[in-house]
Structure 1
Amino acid sequence: MTVVAPGASAARPQLIREINEKVLLDHIRRSGPISRTELAGLTGLSKPTVSAALSSLERTGLVHVTGQRTGVPGPAASLYEVRPDAGYVLGLDVGREFLRGAISDLAGTVRARLSVRTKAGDAMARIQELADLTATLATETGIDVTQLTQTVLGSPGVYDPRLDALTLTGRLSGWDSPATLAALRDRFGTSLMIENDVDAAAIAERVHGHGRNVDSFAFVSVGTGIGMGLVLDGKLRHGSHGVAGEIGYLPFTEGSGSDQRDARKRGGFDASASAAAVVRAARRAGVRGASTAEKVFAAAARGDAVAAAVVAEEALLVAKAVCTVITVVDPELVVLGGGIGQAPGFLEAVSQQLHRLAPVMPDVKASVLGRESVVAGCLAAGLDRSWQTLVGRVGTQG
């Protein structure tokens, strides 16, 4: 026998209305502008039910009529879409040299974008710069910061709940202090979400890049630091302790650019294959003007045989790491990102080594998203979170 709790019968119609509104809102977000008839066909709901739900969503300010569809049999049909100004998302990328940020509306249109070189000497100064960057972006967008429905910060490191702090933060001095996380929360409020920067770039790759319509791929970033974002079965994977993708800690200490102090701090593979390691290897080999990894790659492209040997060694190290990923998770696609990962000719060099090393060969591509990939991923994650929050409010308003 089924026992119905008191009030359950009265609550059931309201619950059904809320579910219908959430379903319609999701379809409008993904497929709008869209008509009532099209929504009825997509959802299987009756036209009167669709009309009632749309009226409720209009009252809450989440959707509006954006025009009419003409030129088809029958009367002109009103078209519905989400109200872009129902909320705004802030995406921030905190790096050692640059801070980048952007604000988008709920339709995903970027309203303002800015990149500044950081002058901060410590974590608190860097947080102040992030706050200043946010204020500038809000002014350019023409909104108040209170209108931000979600803030997502792309940062090196992973969250450790035992310490209530970020750990494995690489080269950002003081960023792993509990005081840093507390100050970030104080500055950006309850809407703050922190995502690993490489994971954020992987999200951007899934939404805007080669990862679209690919269920499993690895985004491998090689540059100032080394990391990986792993998407399996269409979902970003963080692992039990948040360290899925921290391939900088693979125990590779090979190559003339390896630094044992870096290996202890940031992992063996990072010490052997990051941009700093490439510079160290080039200098030891006698490459002239090897002040940055970019200059080493440029020298190799000009025909400098010594620089080319350094680049070849780097490609072998990265191929070994990618081969390890292939044998563990067997992704359909591997995307190379970061300053080194996207360097001209590097994709071909890594692929050549992989053909020799790997038991199977996935598609391997270089990312085309550039330096704004972390911000783009933060915005995408923030939009999803914003819509989850707004959809959760459906039925509690109006």
Structure 2
Amino acid sequence: MTRTPLTLTGSALAVLRALVERGPSTRPQLGQDLGLSRPTMSAAIAELIQAGLVEPIGAVQGGMGRRAVEYRVATHAGHVIAVDAGSTHIRLRLSTLDRRLLHSSLHPLPQSQYALTPQISAVVAAAVAEALARTEADWGPLQAMVIAVPTRVVGPEGDTAATDQEVIYSNFTPPPQVECTLVNNVNCAAVAEYHYGAAQGRQTFAFLQVGVKIGLGLMLNGQILRGVNGAAGEIGHISFPFAPGLTPQRGEAERYLGTEAFMARVRAGWPADAGPPPRDTYELLARAGTGDATALAHVEEHAAQIGAVIAICVSVIDPGLVVLGGGYGASPLLRPKVEEVVRRLAFPAEITTSTLAAEATVLGAERLAVERAVSALLGLPC
């Protein structure tokens, strides 16, 4: 559906973007932050209210005993849907243009999916249908939708068949009133860490996701690096293994370091006198956290292998900061050994752990959806 873009003055646009970014604020707060005079602020707020983009929500106590009216982005200005089409779960957030949560859902997949599959598409379809059915009239129109997918993504001019990104539409049809944008899931997580998580204040960093698959999101000078083929950060595709008599295989690093192959090695090497092997990485980490020597040895060995992969990244990109995330990678048990290996093999780099954990990808998708929604409302390039 084509909407007529709104035209705002520069001051009104600045106030709108500030409210989108920071949430509810008073005119004095906004005026001070934006360097706008009281008359200019009053005119900008009036303009935004007239356009249906901003609403007052009551008064709060200000300085010198004064009370000031607080404003926020109007709920009826519209909403966005963000979906994390993950390998083990589908996460969905439906939120306002200033990211107030209106609806969320979590849908486990029947079994882990190594690639983007029709089964993932079917669960996404069910999650979106549920969200649309729960949408209330005073939430305004659906303004944008972003789906984070576990594959590289190219634009319409690229070879979409080679990326498998279109598989998301095998059982899912986007709502007709809005454009649906696909973004690589690890890139979404990096966006979230940049704005809300462990990488706040850092213009350049790398985000390594370790779960069923591994992937790298690269933020360089405040911009996600996507690459010509949408493959920047596909560190799982580095040639591997390197050893006499062995031929490196495409994608073998991802298969070897992913949690399914890792747990297969754990079960195969679990001593008989150590009791039954853990059923999954959650149980393995839980045992390691209680001091179980066998579990901890497996975790440290895997962390050393992850550290070696990060050392490759650090040697090529020199990001200064690497954030560990993903269903398994976000465990703080990995960090000490990863730090040790990277320090030994590569240039100086700070290693830290995601503060957003499993929510990182869907929060990044939400952020991108809001940016697209605001740009579309104002007729600006996305």
TM-score category of the 2 structures, normalised to the smaller one: 0.7 to 0.9
Q: Percent identity?
A: 29
Q: Is the counterpart of residue 278 in structure 1 residue 266 in structure 2? A: no
For 1:50 and 1:27, how far apart are their aligned partners in 2?
12
For 1:308 and 1:79, how far apart are their aligned partners in 2?
51
Q: CA deviation at 1:127?
A: 2.9
Which structure 2 residues correspond to residues 21-60 of structure 1 after superposition, within 5 A?
21-31=12-22, 33-36=24-27, 39-43=30-34, 47-60=38-51
For 1:348 and 1:45, how far apart are their aligned partners in 2?
48
Q: Please, which moves more after superposition, 318-327 or 157-166?
A: 157-166
Amino acid at match of 1:91: A
**Residue matched to 2:241:** 253
More helix by share: 1
**Residue matched to 1:171:** none
Q: Is the counterpart of residue 93 in structure 1 residue 84 in structure 2? A: yes
Q: How big is each residue's C-alpha offset from its partner over 1:212-266, in whole Å with a ceiling of 9 and x where there is no partner?
A: 11211111011100001111212222122211111111223269xxx999x54xx
Q: CA deviation at 1:62?
A: 0.3
Query: Do the aligned partners of residues 83 and 284 (structure 1) sit closer, same or farther apart at CA in structure 2, a change above 3 Å counting?
Result: same
**Residue matched to 1:193:** 181
Query: Do the aligned partners of residues 123 and 336 (structure 1) sit closer, same or farther apart at CA in structure 2, a change above 3 Å counting?
Result: closer
**Residue matched to 2:71:** 80
**How many residue pairs were aligned?**
365
Report the RMSD for the aligned CA atoms in angstroms.
3.5
**Residue matched to 2:160:** 165
TM normalised by structure 1 equals 0.78
Q: Please, which moves more after superposition, 107-116 or 178-187?
A: 178-187
**Residue matched to 1:153:** 147
Q: Please, which moves more after superposition, 182-191 or 379-388?
A: 182-191
**Residue matched to 1:64:** 55
Q: Unaligned stretches of 5+ in structure 2?
A: 1-5
**Residue matched to 1:131:** 125
Q: How big is each residue's C-alpha offset from its partner over 1:312-368, in whole Å with a ceiling of 9 and x where there is no partner?
A: 3322221111111112222232111123312352111211222222232x2211213
Contact 2:19 2:73 in 1 (8 A): yes
Which residue among 370, 378, 382 is the counterpart of 1:391?
Answer: 378
Which structure 2 residues correspond to residues 177-326 of structure 1 after superposition, within 5 A?
178=166, 180-181=168-169, 184=172, 186-187=174-175, 190-253=178-241, 263-264=249-250, 267-287=251-271, 288-289=276-277, 291-298=279-286, 307-326=295-314
Amino acid at match of 2:102: R
Q: CA deviation at 1:115?
A: 0.9
For 1:89 and 1:284, how far apart are their aligned partners in 2?
46
For 2:177 and 2:119, how far apart are their aligned partners in 1?
18
For 2:281 and 2:151, how far apart are their aligned partners in 1?
23
Amino acid at match of 2:148: G
Amino acid at match of 1:19: G
Q: CA deviation at 1:143?
A: 4.9
Amino acid at match of 1:285: G
For 2:131 and 2:70, how far apart are their aligned partners in 1?
31
Question: Computing the radius of gyration over CA atoms, which structure comes out larger, 1 or 2?
Answer: 1
For 1:359 and 1:185, how far apart are their aligned partners in 2?
46
Contact 1:200 1:377 in 2 (8 A): yes
Contact 1:101 1:133 in 2 (8 A): yes
Which residue among 347, 370, 376 is the counterpart of 2:357?
Answer: 370
Contact 2:193 2:356 in 1 (8 A): yes
